[in-house]
Amino acid sequence: MPLTDTAVRNAKGKEKPYKLGDGGWLFLLVNPDGRRYWRLSFRFAGKQKTLALGTYPTVSLAEARKRRDTIKQQLADGIDPSVARQTEKRTAAVAAANTFEQVGREWFQMKQPGWVASYSDRLMSRLEADVFPALGPRPIQDIDAPEVLEVIRKVEARDAIELAKREMQVIGQIFRFAIATGRARRDPTQDLRGALKSPGRPKHHRAMPKEDLLGFLQALAAYDGDPSTRLALKLMVLTFVRTTELRAAQWSEFEGLDGEEPLWRIPAHRMKMRFEHLVPLAPQAVEVLNELRPLCGRSPHLFPSPSKEGFMSNNTMLFAMYRMGYHGRATVHGFRGVASTWLNEAGFHPDWIERQLAHDERNEVRGAYNSAQYLAGRRQMMRDWADYLDRAAVG
């Protein structure tokens, strides 16, 4: 006769354990201490086996019957329920050991050697602030698209639209790493295409119109602030490297300053694209370096500073431009645009210009080879640019 809720509830312990059968191989085992356990007996491949289905009252009579029916279906399908149970436990253990944060940190450690320190620090800070608190403890294979979107929506709510886009890209990279290492089946960020807010029109670094160079160069010559800052801006215009590449420059990177072919060799670890970058130096750039050297003392940096980084801060040159009256009219990074415009209009080979701007080289082999390619032509190009600046300074 099938059990009832009342019979299960009132079952008391006796001197020895005993069973109360419910039918269909399900029974309640009652221990002398009164504890009650659901058990299921079955035969598979000629062997008698027993499975534990939980304890009462945590598992009710109705729930125990559901579990019994599931097992009976497995038997009908030729599946050994005890083996299936072990597989489920192993799967659950693997899922618990492969949380999003664990996989994310493993992906980060794998990628970090290819990044500059400032970028990797920013990336991990974003993950720890925005992503890991929500997704970190979850088994990565269980995370779905709505969960990811909820994380991204919180970033968008701060009006950080571009950051939200980049963070979703990083989340997608972590999922693809998990797929490649057998810890996830798919990347849910693929389902979120078109779900993010539009960042609107991109804001580019404001470039100074070529016609304003005369006024700027004259204002720079008359700049009465720190001499190192004035020389940094002058070197920036002459070389049009990225701001971070100039600020962290070290004297050990410069070669042949007393010779005919002076060169600035920026190491790969300081470059955005992770390739060594060669900057041929015009005589005017060498003059700036010679003027700058006595101001540096024994520091290895061209622009030493007592800051944590040990060199000029990110805003020093920008604030100097503000003092010179260029607030909102141009940025330090924008000098790259001025140089690119003039060099293209002057008819220099586009490959020379792109190589000198150290733009992204998609083919890594070609990019490494091109660090020196066109060097003779680029050297003449840099001299012509410096001569143009001399002429512009006097109108």
Q: Which residues are annotated as catalytic? A: 242, 272, 333, 336, 359, 369
In this structure, the number of other CB atoms found within 10 A of the CB of residue 261 comes to 11
Task: Quickly tell me which residue has 């995370």 as its tokens.
Answer: 143
Angle CA(213)–CA(219)–CA(225) in degrees, nearest 5?
135
With both helix axes pointing from N to C terminus, report the angle between 161-180 and 145-156 in degrees, rounded to the nearest 10.
150
**Residue 220 and residue 234 in contact, taking contact as beta carbons nearer than 8 Å:** yes
Binning the chain into helix, strand and coil, the percentages to the nearest 5 are 55, 10, 35
Residue 36 contacts by C-beta under 8 Å, 6 or more apart in sequence? 8, 11, 28, 29, 30, 55, 56
Closest CA relative to residue 23, chosen from 44, 43, 41: 41
The rounded Cα 2 to chain-centroid distance in angstroms is 60
Strand arrangement of the beta sheet that strand 26-30 belongs to: 18-23, 26-30, 36-44, 47-56
In this structure, the number of other CB atoms found within 10 A of the CB of residue 227 comes to 13
CA-CA distance, 148 to 160, in Å (whole number)? 16
CA-CA distance, 152 to 163, in Å (whole number)? 9
